[in-house]
């Protein structure tokens, strides 16, 4: 079950080059390419004639040509050329999907096309804002996007899954605050007067015995977008009141697109607004975040396997750390049911 | 759904040597070997005792011995030896299939045995006629034999799929003639006064600016046999009227045997009746044709994947080039229904 | 269908070391580890919180810690720690299974726990008796444990499957005696006044032209345990009457544990009570027996494949050699039905 009348990230924009890109979104095989003006196009990846994958064909003057019999389709999905005959059969074409290029992503709308308002695209400006430098990547995950939503809304796993990358001791003692807006869930934790974790020492110049105030502010926006505001400032320097001048901020943003009920396209970027002109730092952060998020992928894939083998027979328990997870899950269930 | 009361090619005859050959035909696991006189035998590949694959066993005096408990079966499928006991249980045996060795192929009949008349085997004499030299091979294709039938009846894909091997420009402008006999469909195209394609330059000695008359005559015989007559002659030298003395002829023959509904044993040979004693030419042609037909295999496998994922929901369109395909498809559907 | 109220071997005891062991038994994913006292523990391998595989976690003071959120479970399966909260939700826990370490194996009982009496564990003392030296191993077999039971109860396949390892000519002429106890089937063969097979020449010092009396005494105990007494003695020296002083004895013991209906954990050990202090001989026997039993694995996997493809449509025949197999099969069917 998917929430269809929403924008999802289908690809990084640099993935659309000279060759068509094949990607399955919510069980539908889709081909992505650019039209003659460079605008992104998404079409059903199956020729109207005999099902052949258009993504195996060529892009010719902004149209895509089927590799089997040479039928061509324009950006609207209309068939515009059938080799060997003057007229194209009336109505011949393939399904086209609304797409928008924004924030270095290609966004797709798989629901009712007339509801596809680009203003509804969630704000990921950090990914191409000149005041920020962002690194990012794509993971293919053999697990449900719902498990990944739970994962990203949950601060308690950091100490276990990311023990050697993001975790620090003593964090679990600080309370987590969960709040809800109509289309959002916020899970927030402030950690006061503790040493900085390794990544912040690296980027913020904190020393081993420096005490910092640290924040982990997860903003989840349905169906599957995460803006995660993390940072550290000199302890007591006013970060809780909004003064981050003696600290550093990073945004760790994630967005999930179902490939199928049990596999997910996972896009993320990690942005900073300081030391912008240091490519070595960018490189280091890219590597560190990729390692950390990759740790979650392994967890999710194992969890998916056990869940499928357990079937519906197993009763599960909830724990305190699930407060945000449960709110988000109820919200999404409700939206999917309403869309119906 | 298969048409069962027909002959199909099960193997090249050189595949039946010292060891048994295991091959699934129309969903049935079958073992092939030679009896004491060298005649081909086809039996159910599953011992009457405990299902063991006979094809893992040994050929002993023209019988096949189960590798597990040593039961032996003769060419009729009758169990003739059970180790450790004097008498074979009455009626013990496995199914046997009519088989015939002809035209360097092993032919099998999976339908009602009493209808298996060897006179019904289609004519592929080119494969062992001393006036011809044939090269050939076998492809295992993960796609339906029906998709391959469509492929072989269709001249329009040549310009796209085989652009770098068999295709030439300007061919699509010449008309295709489709005709039908009771058990055959013919798809024929004559191309007049055009340059010869690369393969004919190689074999026929045509120069770059020589004009030729060229023919592509596809003779399809149900259920899945193709005799394809291709050639070139000096333009205007009378080839259309039957005088091929100033040209060269090749037969590109294909025959398809379903392994399952979604996989196919694809046998082909390519024969010429000129320059017979030039093994280098034979070698070159073997390579060139194998490359070209391999291009179709990739197409078919992708098409099969998309067709299965599309399910029955997708409406497809027909194009002019499908005239022969549609006739053959209706013929085969009708025959399967009638047998069914 | 499994017989659940029985002991099965889950692992070699040396498989339970510093790290948890994941193994599926009768379709249930189970994690094995040792508690703080070194006693074996078997728990459901799926966290009560969100299904995560506990086997991916750490053993901490004899408890197992979930790698995702750090929940800990003790040897009874009770959840004893939930990070971030003082109280564990009442009743939180995972299923635990009775386990016993005996004869160098870890035994598990998947049925009703209150019936798990360790006195019911079958006698495999040869595997750790100081008067014997045993070599052994584990095979993962992609085939039903029922096919392996048939295989181990059947002496007639030895001449075919093990022609180059265990088989000798002329053995089939000696009669096989089958007898039955309530929970056992015995299949026994004595071979008189014949040359010794290769393995007994190697271990017993018999020469090529020495005549020996040889025994193959298979003791099957339901559900899937085999104690196989094999040996040779100087012909006529009284072995049939119990005097084995001029011969050598080995026990070739096997035990089968279903992973699923179509895959099996196959444990075996091979023990001798002579030349105990010869490690080279131990090494040689380990290699020879592993090779021989591996030959059966290939057979079983092919048989399983053909059986599944044959479906229920194929009638099978029984042969004289099946007498023991049929008795055991009826016994086991009856027990499963009675339990069911």
pLDDT in tens, B172-230: 778 899 999 999 999 999 999 998 888 888 899 899 889 999 999 999 999 999 999 99
Task: Say if residues B47 and C319 touch (Cβ distance below 8 Å).
Answer: no
- Under 8 Å between Cβ of C27 and C140: no
pLDDT in tens, B250-268: 999 999 999 999 999 999 9
Chain A residues near residue C85 by CB distance under 8 angstroms: 319-321
Alpha-carbon distances of B248 from A241, B177, B245, rounded to whole Å? 89, 22, 8
Whether B306 and A56 lie within 8 Å, measured CB to CB: no
Q: Do A316 and C66 touch (CB under 8 A)?
A: no
Q: How confident is the model at residue B316 (pLDDT cuts 50, 70, 90)?
A: confident
For tokens 């040479």, the residue is A70
B-chain residues near C305 (CB < 8 A): 53
Cβ atoms within 10 Å, residue B29 = 18
- Whether B338 and chain A come into contact, CB under 8 Å, resolves to no
Q: Which domains does chain B have, with CATH numbers?
A: 7-120 (2.102.10.10), 130-339 (3.90.380.10)
Contact assignment for C84 to A318 by CB distance below 8 Å: no
Instruction: Return d(Cα C248, Cα C234) in angstroms, integer.
Output: 10
DSSP string, A313-335: G------GGGHHHHHHHHHHHHH
Chain B nearest CA to A56, separation (Å): 9
A326 to chain C, any CB pair closer than 8 A? The answer is no
Asked if residue C173 has pLDDT above 80, the reply is no
pLDDT digits (tens, 9 = 90+) for C17-31: 999 999 999 999 999
Give residue B313's pLDDT band: very low, low, confident or very high (50, 70, 90).
Answer: low
Distances (CA, A) of A339 to A5, A111, A115, A267: 8, 10, 13, 25
pLDDT above 70 (res A313): no
> In Å, how far is A176's CA from the nearest CA of chain B?
44
Contacts of B240 (CB under 8 A, 6+ apart): B190, B213, B215
Which residue, among A166, A174, A173, A218, has the nearest Cα to A196 in the 3D structure?
A166
- Cα distances from C319 to residues A173, B88, C308, C315, in angstroms, run 72, 8, 22, 13
> Would you say residue B137 has pLDDT above 80?
yes
Other CB atoms within 10 A of residue C57 CB: 24
Residues of C in contact with A321 (CB under 8 A): 69, 83-85
CB count in 10 Å sphere of residue B117? 12
Please report which confidence band the pLDDT of residue B340 belongs to, taking 50, 70 and 90 as the band edges. confident
Q: How far apart are CA A202 and CA C21, in angstroms?
A: 38
Interface of C with A in 61-80 (CB under 8 A): 65-71, 79
Enter the tokens of residue B197. 């394609």
User: pTM value?
Assistant: 0.92
CB atoms C69 and A309 under 8 Å = no
Residues 6+ apart with CB under 8 A from B245: B233, B237, B238
Radius of gyration over alpha carbons of chain B, in Å?
22
pLDDT in tens, B255-312: 999 999 999 999 999 999 999 999 999 999 999 999 989 999 999 999 999 999 887 6
Closest CA to A102 of A87, A119, A114: A119
Place A199 in a pLDDT band, splitting at 50, 70 and 90: confident
Q: Out of B50, B51, B68, whose CB is closest to C160?
A: B68
Measured CA distances, A50 to A67, A155, A317, B261, C309 (Å)? 11, 49, 50, 17, 31
Structure tokens at B290: 């194998």
Q: From the CB of residue C129, how many other CB atoms can be counted at a distance below 10 Å?
A: 14
Q: Is the pLDDT of residue C50 over 80?
A: yes
């Amino acid at each position: 079950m998917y929430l269809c009348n929403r924008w999802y990230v289908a690809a990084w924009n640099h993935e659309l080059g000279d060759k068509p890109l094949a990607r399955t979104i919510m069980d539908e095989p889709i081909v992505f390419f650019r039209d003659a003006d460079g605008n992104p196009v998404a079409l059903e990846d199956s020729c109207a004639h005999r099902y052949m994958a258009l993504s195996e064909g060529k892009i010719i003057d902004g149209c895509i040509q089927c590799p089997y019999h040479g039928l061509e389709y324009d950006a609207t999905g209309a068939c515009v050329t059938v080799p060997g005959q003057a007229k194209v059969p009336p109505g011949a074409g393939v399904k086209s999907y609304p797409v928008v290029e924004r924030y270095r992503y290609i966004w797709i709308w798989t629901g009712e096309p007339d509801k596809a308002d680009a203003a509804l695209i969630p704000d990921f400006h950090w990914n191409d804002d000149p005041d920020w430098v962002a690194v990012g990547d794509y993971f293919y995950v053999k697990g449900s996007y719902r498990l990944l939503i739970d994962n990203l809304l949950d601060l308690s796993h950091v100490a276990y899954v990311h023990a050697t990358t993001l975790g620090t001791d003593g964090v679990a003692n600080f309370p987590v605050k969960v709040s809800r807006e109509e289309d959002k869930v916020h899970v927030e934790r402030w950690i006061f007067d503790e040493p900085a974790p390794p990544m912040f020492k690296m980027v913020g110049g904190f020393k081993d015995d420096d005490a910092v105030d640290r924040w982990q502010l997860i903003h989840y926006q349905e169906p599957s977008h995460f803006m995660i505001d993390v940072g550290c400032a000199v302890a007591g320097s006013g970060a809780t009141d909004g003064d981050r001048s003696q600290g550093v901020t990073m945004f760790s943003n994630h967005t999930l697109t179902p490939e199928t009920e049990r596999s997910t396209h996972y896009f993320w970027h990690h942005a900073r607004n300081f030391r912008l002109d240091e490519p070595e730092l960018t490189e280091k952060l890219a590597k560190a975040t990729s390692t950390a998020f990759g740790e979650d992928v392994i967890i999710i894939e194992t969890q998916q396997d056990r869940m499928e083998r357990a079937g519906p027979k197993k009763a599960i328990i909830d724990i305190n750390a699930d407060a945000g997870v449960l709110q988000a899950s109820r919200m999404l269930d409700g939206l999917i049911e309403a869309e119906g």
